[in-house]
Chain A
Amino acid sequence: MRLRLEARPQPSRSMAWLSPLLAILATIVVGFLLFSSLGRNPSQALYVFFVKPVETLYGIGELLLKASPLMLCAIGLAAGYRANVWNIGAEGQLTLGAICGGGVALALEGVGTGAVLLPLMLVAGAVGGMAWAAIPAWLRNRCNANEILVSLMLVYVATLLLSLLVQGPWRDPEGFNFPQSRMFADAALLPVLLPGTRLNFGLVIALAAVALGWIFVRRSLTGFQMRVAGLAPAAANYAGISMQRTVWLGMLIGGAAAGIAGVGEAAGPIGQLLPSMSPGYGFAAIIVAFVGRLHPFGILLASLLMSLLYLGGESAQIGLALPSAVTGLFQGALLFFLLAADVLVNFRLRIVRDSSIAGAAHAAKAGI
């Protein structure tokens, strides 16, 4: 008896939604095994990891706070991924967004711009992210350069650029030589939504992005064309859909969203520019986009899950004395299991019995 993969005539819709749940289940099982192998009580450890962080109102605020940049970045990335445009440099675009938005905040401090300042920062961040994403888009269209590699290389360049700025020209003169900028003025900070938490206006922006993303995918011609370009490039070409335009849009939407997420971090929980503006949100957003099936509402749910993994990592560090790096381990494992479970969308598992001759021989040997 053995297992065989059989191609389904049509992809299974129910499996498409079931496989993320299977992946989550498998990740929890791995967590269970990991925690018990490290000598922790696994059920208590899972409680500390997945439940304790969101038991309080403050915790729920943190969950939504961390979910916002993930949601934003993933919505932007999904626009490209649906069209087979692989932007994996959201982390760099986020950093550039923080640099540009933060730069505006630092430059206009004390100028008395009032209520215009925050919108200005958000626009600057979006432009910064788009500019960073435009480099791989242009090189792909113009010179056929692989956008995966170019966008990823630019992550390293962006991080070094930020480090250069906060150690050099933008360093806080009263900051005891620490590599960090001055704290932003109150007018440059996103307003807090829920008193008693750190949850800020960034969530509203992220939810708006989800809604816009849904309209773009389901209700706009451009969104439809980009999906066609991803699903059937030859057909798209025949129908006159420009691949160059698709690449530009896919990259720029991702860049703008990540750039805004960067401003959200700088003007939100951080409130200044530091050498590192994100604990890998741009990379985690890749996982969010896939676990959410590239669908805006799926991404909404997946970003909450991923945010919980971040909180769980912090909680495990305090409550279980485990390194918070366990977050990255869980994130990677989740994507791994999702991709494995996805086989069931296009294939079905069939148990193939040994051929009848072998079966008969086996029966004869058993003396039946």
Chain B
Amino acid sequence: MEHFATLAALTLAAGTPLVFAALGELVAERSGVLNLGVEGMMLVGAVVSFIVTATTRHPWLGVAAGVTAGAAMALAFGVLTLSLMANQVASGLALSLFGVGLSAFIGLDYVSAVVEGIKPLAIPQVSDIPVVGRLLFAHSPFVYLFHTRAGLIVRAVGESPASAHAIGYSVARIRYLCVIFGGACAGLGGAYMAVAYTPLWTEGMTAGRGWIALALVVFATWKPWRALGGAYLFGGVTLAQFQAQAMGSEIPSQLLSMLPYIATIVVLTLISRDAIAIRLNAPASLGKPFHPDA
């Protein structure tokens, strides 16, 4: 029983960066903006939080800095796609490539640094308080999107920006806020990895989690609760792979390390096969720029 609780806690810990990143991206996509830069925002969030933690010795300050950095990256993406009407796919790729380069550059002096990370607050047999916090956090986008007026407006902007504009809402402003929220969440996911989960910084340490988060949003058919489940499912896969390696399995470690990526492809494929479910659930204006005059 105790072993099971430990495993559950570890699974939750492994899935948490994905939870943050996927839920943030989900909100952005619900407003009609596809931001492929999640990986870049996570990396920058991770490196900034790590550097701030290493220099100030205050992990929570580091987390705040990581969140801010992710939001700042998202703001740059917003300027490109929402103010300058750039292609969202290309801009998102640019954001990811830029984030990889930027984080490698500024993090170079901190690669072997050691920090005192955030310790989980242990409650015997139950798991930890951050988990409860995470569940609450995951609950909030759900409540926000489906049970508040503001969430209704976000969804309206994502479904039909022209209608939302016609009845007086500023499409650009709402999308900016959602994109920045997405960036802050991705930064939080990165900060969690660098300050709490590992805690260390290595180049490209998110190892594709930003991209997996994007796949999770599709997998969840843009519903927060399903994104949460998917993220922990992937936490489980990641954990199973580590466990198998630790137990000295006969299978080469590289094959085990492929598991999360292959699982992503399989899951994405299975869910996408149902073309109608995707079309009914995807925000209708996803990826399309909106300019009031055009």
Contact B293 A143 (CB under 8 A): no
Interface segment out of the listed A10-18, A45-53, A54-62, A154-162: A154-162
Contact A161 B254 (CB under 8 A): yes
Contact B211 A149 (CB under 8 A): yes
Contact B208 A148 (CB under 8 A): no
CA distance A75 to B98 in the complex (A): 22
Contact A143 B273 (CB under 8 A): yes
Q: Does B67 contact A (CB under 8 A)?
A: no
Interface segment out of the listed B23-31, B80-88, B116-124, B181-189: B80-88
**Candidates B80, B254, B255, B275; contact of A336 at CB < 8 Å:** B80
With A283-B97, A339-B90 as given contacts, are A153 and B265 in contact (CB-CB < 8 Å)? Answer: yes
Interface segment out of the listed A170-178, A194-202, A325-333: A325-333
- Which DSSP category, helix, strand, loop or mixed, fits chain B's interface? helix
Interface residues on B, range: 35 or more
Q: Does B75 contact A (CB under 8 A)?
A: no
Contact B101 A290 (CB under 8 A): no
Convert B56-78 into 0s and 1s, putting 1 for each residue whose CB lies closer than 8 angstroms to a CB of A. 00000000000000000000100
Q: Does B285 contact A (CB under 8 A)?
A: no
Q: Does A185 contact B (CB under 8 A)?
A: no
- Which DSSP category, helix, strand, loop or mixed, fits chain A's interface? helix
Which partner residue on chain B sits nearest A152 by CB separation? B211
Contact A332 B86 (CB under 8 A): no
Which residues in B have their C-beta under 8 angstroms from that of A167? 252, 254
CA distance A167 to B255 in the complex (A): 12
Interface size on A, residues (CB 8 A): 47
Which residues in B have their C-beta under 8 angstroms from that of A325? 101, 104-105, 108, 203
Q: Does A347 contact B (CB under 8 A)?
A: yes
With A149-B215, A152-B211, A164-B255 as given contacts, are A157 and B262 in contact (CB-CB < 8 Å)? Answer: yes
The minimal Cβ–Cβ distance linking B40 to chain A, given in whole angstroms, is 8
Which residues in B have their C-beta under 8 angstroms from that of A163? 254
Contact A148 B101 (CB under 8 A): no
Contact B87 A339 (CB under 8 A): yes
**Candidates A144, A152, A330; contact of B275 at CB < 8 Å:** A144
The minimal Cβ–Cβ distance linking B179 to chain A, given in whole angstroms, is 15
Please provide the chain A residues from 248 to 297 with a CB less than 8 Å away from any CB of chain B in the complex.
283, 286-287, 290
Contact A149 B264 (CB under 8 A): yes
Contact B97 A287 (CB under 8 A): yes
Which partner residue on chain B sits nearest A6 by CB separation? B293
Contact A329 B80 (CB under 8 A): no
CA distance A86 to B95 in the complex (A): 16
Q: Does A145 contact B (CB under 8 A)?
A: yes
Which partner residue on chain B sits nearest A81 by CB separation? B90
Which residues in B have their C-beta under 8 angstroms from that of A332? 40, 94-95, 97-102
Which residues in A have their C-beta under 8 angstroms from that of B86? 339-340, 342-343
Q: Does B245 contact A (CB under 8 A)?
A: no
Contact A156 B208 (CB under 8 A): yes
Which residues in B have their C-beta under 8 angstroms from that of A86? 89
For the complex of A and B, 3 pairs with smallest distance between CB atoms = A328-B101, A332-B98, A325-B104
Known contacts A283-B100, A328-B97, A336-B76, then 8 further A-B pairs from the complex at CB < 8 Å, ordered by chain A residue: A7-B294, A153-B211, A157-B261, A160-B258, A167-B252, A328-B104, A329-B104, A336-B95
